[in-house]
Amino acid sequence: MLGPTALGAVVASLVASMLLLQRGDEGSGAAPSMADKETLTKLREDFKMQNKSVFILGASGETGKVLLKEILGQNLFSKVTLIGRRKLTFEEEAYKNVNQEVVDFEKLDDYASAFQGHDVGFCCLGTTRGKAGAEGFVRVDRDYVLKSAELAKAGGCKHFNLLSSKGADKSSNFLYLQVKGEVEAKVEELKFDRFSVFRPGVLLCDRQESRPAEWLVRKFFSSLPESWAREHTVPVVTVVRAMLNNLVSPSSGQMELLENKAILHLGKDSDGPKL
């Protein structure tokens, strides 16, 4: 049963989806070319040899947890740190060396040390208007993300990876897209050596949490022709693989913008460890 609030959310999500659909992929930045399997394997090996350290924000989320699993599966880093508002528990052996920093995002300056000494950072933080209200959404998706990026930069991070959204545009009238565009632009101003922005369409995953609105949107998308789905949706695991294939590849510029199509292309490699 959908209550009035849920119903409102469903309608809002459908409207939002339609807005996203209207936007083309024009103006997207350079997409790195997909290396063949052999090259990719070699790139991964070279990357591992560098013994780099990584932090992940939002590792408890739908995307973050798949990212963490894949990072551990590929054994890409010699140190993995999760930064979050609560400590996570893991059963599997593979997670035993994962470090965790529990921070108060409202007083992030007090936790600057958590952000020190990581070569690479991934940000998969985010909430929704439905969960946190408009103000809460801006607080998390803009303020927490930007402050984290600032502390990471100050802490020596060279490569910052931001999970944004298709249609992100700082001059959009739509709060969600406006905030996503604004935070992209502000993080860009920090001038990381390398800044990679991922703009996926609707993420396809099995959410445990019930989100009727997203479920309906997903149903809606899966009823569309395949070619439409390719433009506007992407499995979470593909986003994660695109992030990691991009990570080990030479950068195509200080800032890299990967739209949905580029993500599908870069993340479709099937030789990675099976999840």
Ligand X SMILES: NC(=O)c1ccc[n+]([C@@H]2O[C@H](COP(=O)([O-])OP(=O)(O)OC[C@H]3O[C@@H](n4cnc5c(N)ncnc54)[C@H](OP(=O)(O)O)[C@@H]3O)[C@@H](O)[C@H]2O)c1
Which partner, ligand X, ligand NAG, none, binds residue 50 by CB below 5 to 8 Å per kind? ligand NAG
Q: Is there a catalytic annotation at residue 268?
A: no
Binding residue (CB under 6 A) for ligand X from 114, 203, 213, 243 = 203
* Interface with ligand X, residue 87, by CB under 6 A: no
* Interface with ligand X, residue 267, by CB under 6 A: no
Burial class (CB in 10 A: 0-12, 13-18, 19+), 143: middle
Binding site for ligand NAG (CB under 6 A): 49-51
* Interface with ligand X, residue 107, by CB under 6 A: no
* Interface with ligand X, residue 60, by CB under 6 A: yes
Q: What is the CA radius of gyration of the chain?
A: 18
CB atoms within 10 A of CB 224: 14
Which partner, ligand NAG, ligand X, none, binds residue 202 by CB below 5 to 8 Å per kind? ligand X
- Catalytic residue (one of 180, 186, 268, 274): 180
**Is residue 266 a contact partner of residue 243, using CB atoms and an 8 Å limit?**
no
Binding residue (CB under 6 A) for ligand X from 86, 96, 107, 219 = 86
* Interface with ligand X, residue 58, by CB under 6 A: yes
Q: Is there a catalytic annotation at residue 95?
A: no
User: For the chain, where are the alpha helices, taking DSSP H only?
Assistant: 4-22, 37-48, 62-74, 129-138, 145-154, 175-189, 212-222, 226-232, 236-248, 260-267
- The nearest distance, CB 46 to ligand NAG, in angstroms, is 10
- The nearest distance, CB 126 to ligand X, in angstroms, is 2
Name every residue whose Cβ is closer than 8 Å to that of residue 36 and which is 6 or more positions away in sequence: none
